[in-house]
């Protein structure tokens, strides 16, 4: 029974060492591009998108097909 317990303990120790190494390998050593510039790129892209759609919606004369209620009067029917 002793070898069985010893084997189980060794597996637990190896597993905990492997988990510790895996945790350490996922930690970043130095800041990368996304850490340095990620928020600025996101804010710049959002600003560009909002500015472009604001221009498109207000300046280039698209007919947005809004409700014609109050602007269109029906034509009289012609009796044939």
- Looking at residue 49, the DSSP 8-state letter turns out to be H
List the CATH number of the domain containing 48: 4.10.51.10
At residue 28, does pLDDT exceed 70? no
Cα diameter, the chain: 109
- For residue 34, how far is the Cα from the chain centroid? 14
Domain extent, residue 42, equals: 32-57
Encode pLDDT of 31-44 as tens digits. 888 889 999 999 99
Nearest to 54 by CA among 66, 42, 46: 46
Q: How far apart are CA 26 and CA 7, in angstroms?
A: 29
Residue 36 is assigned to a structural domain of this protein: yes
Structure confidence at residue 78 (pLDDT): 75
The total domain count for the chain is 1
In a domain, 38, yes or no: yes
pLDDT mean across residues, the chain: 77
Domain membership of residue 52 (yes or no) is yes
pLDDT tens-digit map of 49-77: 999 999 988 888 877 777 767 777 777 87
Given this model, what pLDDT does residue 69 score?
74
State pTM to two decimals.
0.45
56 within 8 A of 62, measured Cβ to Cβ: yes
């Amino acid at each position: 029974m002793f070898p069985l317990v010893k084997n189980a303990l060794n597996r637990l120790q190896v597993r905990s060492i492997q988990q510790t190494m895996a945790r350490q390998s996922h930690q970043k050593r130095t800041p990368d591009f996304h850490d340095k510039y990620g928020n600025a790129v996101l804010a710049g892209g959002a600003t560009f998108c909002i500015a472009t759609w604001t221009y498109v919606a207000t300046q280039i004369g698209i007919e947005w097909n809004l409700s014609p209620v109050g602007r269109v009067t029906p034509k009289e029917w012609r009796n044939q």
